[in-house]
Structure 1
Amino acid sequence: MFSKLMSRGLMQRSAVRSLHCTNQRSFTIPFIPKLPQNPGGVKGDVNEAYVPPSSDKLHGSVHWDFERFTAVALLPLVGSSLAAGGDVSVVADSLLATTLLGHCYVGFQSCIIDYIPSRVYGKYHNYAMYMLTLGSLFAGVGIYKLETEENGLSGVVQKLWTASTHSEGEKK
């Protein structure tokens, strides 16, 4: 009986000890070096006065509003492209492609801000933002080429959709 209680107590202590050990590890991106952090993420000591940041009502709200605007604007654009079956005007197709690019840009920007913060990763945060902007510019050039040389984004999707059905029909 005593051995059962003793083993149960040891198991409980080892389980608690393992939880304490896992609590110390935090998620980091392995190939990006981190800046040295202060213990507990606190700068200064307890007796230093807190200096609040200047208040700005627009900080973050414009970004959030633009994110929601692009998400809502995609609904009728995608719906009209699906309803028309790929035969959409050049203006509607260009609006769809650029709105989709803006939506993707803002979404990836939010991911970079959340998961590669400048406080922890320093200059690598800026590199990630530059890479996102450069990739978006290349995508904008690709959208321009699709709209002028091809049949637009809807036309490319339609070709991809019908290409798989034609290849299946040839196999039979």
Structure 2
Amino acid sequence: MASIARSSLLRQVASAPKVAVATKPASQNSIIANAARASAFHTTARRDLLPPLPQKVVGTVNDAAPVPTPSPSHGSYHWTFDRLVAASLIPITVVPFAAGSVHPVLDATLCATILIHSHTGFQNIIVDYVPTYRTPRARKAFIWGLNAATAVVGLALYQYETNDVGLTETIKRIWKA
């Protein structure tokens, strides 16, 4: 879609000769002209959105890749925790609607599990796509922003659970509306 909005492409299309609809078969020249006009929509110049980050070489070609230090809060333990939280969301979401009663503890557990699941998911995105070795300050800012957003959403869910009808009751009311 962005290639259509380019001014050079619009100039090409505007300056191309108009092809009239004819009842006789198209000549070879009109086919080539149409192909040239259509190809302008399919080819674009490569333009980087952001300039490349500073490049630096650490070590030599023959150095081994650095191995991170093992940590129980990362790696397979972290992945297992994420999967357990994601799998626990299924029964915690279904039970209040299947049982027909809304218990505040079950509602609070659902809100906490959704909050933890969202936090760890966004944390995984930051870890994967904002590397420390290239942009350490940006990564720290994203992590602090995620922690602040999680705290604000946690406080909002707490206020909603204690001062209003709660999450599952809201879903029930929306479903019946």
TM-score scaled by length of structure 1: 0.66
**1:114 and 1:55, CA in 2 relative to 1: closer, same or farther beyond 3 A?**
closer
Decide whether the 8 Å contact of 1:97 with 1:153 is kept in 2.
yes
The alignment's C-alpha RMSD in Å is: 2.7
- Partners of 1:161 and 1:68 in 2: CA distance: 28
SS of aligned partner of 1:88: coil
Decide whether the 8 Å contact of 1:105 with 1:132 is kept in 2.
yes
Counterpart position of 1:37: 55
Counterpart position of 1:168: none
Bigger relative CO (Cα 8 Å, ≥ 6 apart): 1
Which structure has the larger Rg?
2
- Partners of 1:80 and 1:147 in 2: CA distance: 18
Counterpart position of 2:21: none
Counterpart position of 1:90: 104
Deviation at 1:115, TM superposition (A): 1.4
Can you give the 5+ residue segments of structure 2 that lack an aligned partner in the other structure? 1-42
Counterpart position of 1:123: 137
Q: Which amino acid in structure 1 is aligned with residue 89 of structure 2?
A: L
- Partners of 1:151 and 1:71 in 2: CA distance: 25
Deviations 1:133-160 (A, max 9, x none): 1010011111111111112110122233
Map 1:131-146 onto structure 2 (within 5 A): 131-146=145-160
Decide whether the 8 Å contact of 1:93 with 1:153 is kept in 2.
yes
Decide whether the 8 Å contact of 1:77 with 1:96 is kept in 2.
yes
More helix, by proportion: 1
**1:116 and 1:77, CA in 2 relative to 1: closer, same or farther beyond 3 A?**
same
Task: Say yes or no: does 1:156 pair with 2:174.
Answer: no
Q: Find runs of 4+ consecutive structure 1 residues off by over 6 angstroms.
A: none
Can you give the 5+ residue segments of structure 1 that lack an aligned partner in the other structure? 1-17, 166-172
- Partners of 1:132 and 1:34 in 2: CA distance: 25
The structure 1 residue matched to 2:117, chosen from 99, 103, 126, is: 103
TM-score scaled by length of structure 2: 0.64
Identity %: 34
- Partners of 2:122 and 2:114 in 1: CA distance: 12
